[in-house]
Structure formats: C-alpha cells, structure tokens
Amino acid sequence: MAKQSCRRVFRRQTKSNMPKVHISLCFIIFLYLSSEDFMKVDSQSQGNWCIANPITDNDRLLKNIDFACSKIDCRIIMEGGSCYDPNTPLNHASVAMNLYYQAQGRHYWNCNFESSGLITVVDPSYGCCKYQYRK
C-alpha cells in the first residue's frame, strides 16, 4: 500500500514538472534561433551610444583613444573641450569610442574595441559634454 502512494506522488510530480521542462526547452530553442537579434542594435531607437566598459584597464582605454582619434576629430576631449572633464582614461575613451561608433554608422561591431566597448540606450551626456548621436 505504501508503494502505491509513493508511485502516485512520483507520477504527479513528473506530470507537474513536464510543462516547466517543455517551456524551458522552448525558451532555449527560441534564444538559439534568435541569437542574431540579441547582437543587433536597433538604429531606429531613441538613440544608442558606445561607451567604454568601466572594468577595462587603462592601457586598453588609451589604445582605444589612440585608435578612435586617428580616425575622427577628438578635440572635444582635449584640454578646453566640452568633454575634457573629468580628465580620466575611462571618460575620454567613452567619448572617443562613441564618436567613432557614430561616424561608422552605429554598427555593433564598431563598438567592440576588443570587447572593451558597450552599447547603451541611455544617453551618457553630462553637463556641457553632449555625446554625439547621428540620426
């Protein structure tokens, strides 16, 4: 008699867990099939900007500044520019990386910078420093 009640409980648990497993499997398949969409940025959104990942080391940030500023005008982060302060590699790299990203057409790969760039939909502008956004 005890064995039958255990079997009934086990069967009920199996049946009640099946929908959860089915939903989880469907979700995994959905993520796999639409993985390209997660990597794309909708250029029709309110805006998107490229910023430096805050955990990036200063050497990488300085290389990003050098690269971006070799391609675009970076006077905005020079002394006297509206985005000079705060005078930190993280701030200057974020501004320079965004200038490059915007100039190249806002493709996610133009914000990679060897995995040190992040795309944000929140305008990172502050004070007099206005992050460029090209429509």
Q: Do the beta carbons of residue 72 and residue 99 sit within 8 Å?
A: yes
Would 134 be classed as within a structural domain? no
* Predicted confidence (pLDDT) at residue 88 exceeds the cutoff of 80: yes
Percent of the chain topping pLDDT 90 = 64
Q: 61 and 22 in one domain?
A: no
Q: 115 and 91 in one domain?
A: yes
Would 59 be classed as within a structural domain? yes
Q: 94 and 55 in one domain?
A: yes
Q: 64 and 79 in one domain?
A: yes
Q: CB 64: neighbour CB atoms within 10 A?
A: 23
Q: 69 and 6 in one domain?
A: no
Pick 116 or 23 by higher pLDDT.
116
Would 116 be classed as within a structural domain? yes
Q: 92 and 75 in one domain?
A: yes
Strand partners, 29: none
Strands 49-52 and 117-120: antiparallel
pLDDT at 57: 98
Token couple for 37: 């969409």
Interval 21-46 mean pLDDT: 55
Is pTM beyond 0.75? Reply is no
- Phi/psi region, residue 88 (left: phi>0; alpha: psi -120 to 50; beta: rest), is beta
Q: 23 and 81 in one domain?
A: no
Domain that holds residue 11: 2-38
* 48-to-12, 43, 58, 125, 132 alpha-carbon distances in Å: 49, 7, 24, 12, 10
Would 25 be classed as within a structural domain? yes
Q: 33 and 50 in one domain?
A: no
Q: For residue 56, what is the DSSP state?
A: S
- For residues 64 and 52, what is the distance between their CA atoms, to the nearest angstrom? 9
* Predicted confidence (pLDDT) at residue 18 exceeds the cutoff of 80: no
Q: 47 and 33 in one domain?
A: no
pLDDT at 21: 52
Q: 24 and 65 in one domain?
A: no
Would 130 be classed as within a structural domain? no
Residue with the two structure tokens 């502008």: 125
- Exposed, middle or buried, 41 (CB in 10 Å: 0-12/13-18/19+)? middle
> For the chain, how many structural domains are there in total?
2
